Amino acid sequence: MDHGFSIPQDVDASDLKGLVERFRTPEVRAMALIGSFARGDAGQFSDVDILRFFAEEAGNRPGAGSHAVDGRLVVVSDIAEAKIDGWFTQPQVATQIVVGLRDAWPLWDPDGYFAKIQRRSRDFVWDDAMQKKADAYASREMAGWAEEAHKGLEGLRTGDTGRMINALLGLSWGLTSVMRVKLGVLLQSDNSFLSEVIAAVGEDSEWAKLCRSAFGIDGNSHLEERVKSGLRLYALTAQMIEKAIRLEDRDVINHTVKLIQAGLDKRIGI
């Protein structure tokens, strides 16, 4: 009987079939391999990412989570049907999952359930409606990351290492996520998150330069300098997405940018 099982090249079929038998339960509608093994760029320490699809949400299903199997980390994620629509209608999710679904391999798909999802991913188009949602998301996120900018300013003012470390989350990953969604960058892999967003903005742009500095990957490992770069990145990102900033977010973002400009000009003792 054909149960819809297939494998990518250079992957041991018996290993994957064993994982299907180990983690498939009677309620499973389909199973798919996603991530580096599906793309074909897995390394010695890469984990095996498996999605299990169910009709309904349920917590703590047997087999969900992380497992050590035959020397590999196997991560099993359970997906309820109600969650799937958001993969294609929420820009912050679509940018992370659509390409991964296109590259995924069905492991157990007897009724073609996953095949329909994969076709939807391949037909996905970033249209005007999605861009409007992306603009609103970017605006909300910028207003939300204002707290991290304030932490960065206070950390620099007082020399508080803890505040500066906390600030860097939003001033590096957070701002990169803002641009990922604003520009509709459909990620090939979470491992290439940074390089793909930088490429979309411009490899030699000031934004890319500040982003690399905030992450500390330009040879700059000094915490204070990374925070300053992150603060400048916040101000520049606000400028670049200015037309997308919603009225309800504008005061918070503009106020934060003014504080950054004043702080980095050393008018408040930084």
> Which amino acid is it at 73?
L
User: Which whole number is the average pLDDT over 33-58?
Assistant: 92
Interatomic CA distance for residues 22 and 19, integer angstroms: 5
Q: Does residue 204 form part of some domain?
A: yes
Q: Are residues 38 and 166 in the same domain?
A: no
What sign does the dihedral 186-192-197-203 (CA atoms) show?
A: negative
Closest by CA position to 188, among listed 82, 100, 64: 100
Interatomic CA distance for residues 242 and 152, integer angstroms: 22
Q: Where are the beta strands (DSSP E) in the chain?
A: 30-34, 48-54, 65-69, 72-80, 105-108
What is the extent of the structural domain holding 30? 13-123
Token reading at 231? 């603060």
pLDDT at 53: 97
pLDDT at 5: 45
Counting residues of the chain whose pLDDT is more than 70, the rounded percentage is 93
Q: Are residues 144 and 104 in the same domain?
A: no
Q: Does residue 150 form part of some domain?
A: yes
Q: Are residues 207 and 139 in the same domain?
A: yes
Q: Does residue 260 form part of some domain?
A: yes
pLDDT at 98: 98
Q: Are residues 100 and 178 in the same domain?
A: no
pLDDT at 265: 78
Cβ–Cβ < 8 Å for 124, 88: yes
User: Which whole number is the average pLDDT over 48-60?
Assistant: 90
Q: Are residues 117 and 200 in the same domain?
A: no
Cβ–Cβ < 8 Å for 87, 118: no
Count the domains in the chain.
2
* Average pLDDT, rounded, for the chain: 92
Q: Are residues 61 and 142 in the same domain?
A: no
- φ and ψ of 77, to 5 deg: -115, 130
Q: Does residue 201 form part of some domain?
A: yes
pLDDT at 106: 95
Alpha-carbon 243 to chain mean position: 24
Give, in order, the Cα–Cα distances in Å from 119 to each of 60, 94, 103, 131, 145: 29, 14, 11, 22, 35
Examine the fold and report which residue of 97, 123, 149 is the final residue of a domain before the chain moves on. 123
Helix/strand/coil for 126: coil
pLDDT at 267: 54
Q: Are residues 65 and 152 in the same domain?
A: no
pLDDT at 3: 42
pLDDT at 16: 87
Q: Are residues 136 and 115 in the same domain?
A: no
| Predicted TM-score of the model (pTM) | 0.91
Q: Are residues 175 and 117 in the same domain?
A: no
Q: Are residues 119 and 169 in the same domain?
A: no
pLDDT at 1: 31
Interatomic CA distance for residues 122 and 151, integer angstroms: 42
Examine the fold and report which residue of 103, 123, 143 is the final residue of a domain before the chain moves on. 123
Q: Are residues 97 and 119 in the same domain?
A: yes
Q: Does residue 3 form part of some domain?
A: no
Interatomic CA distance for residues 214 and 218, integer angstroms: 9
Q: Does residue 36 form part of some domain?
A: yes
115-154 confidence digits (pLDDT tens) = 999 999 999 999 999 999 999 999 999 999 999 999 999 9
CATH number of the domain where residue 105 is located: 3.30.460.10
Examine the fold and report which residue of 67, 90, 123 is the final residue of a domain before the chain moves on. 123
208-252 confidence digits (pLDDT tens) = 999 999 999 988 789 999 999 999 999 999 999 999 999 999 999
Interatomic CA distance for residues 5 and 50, integer angstroms: 13
Residue count of the chain: 270
Q: Are residues 70 and 196 in the same domain?
A: no
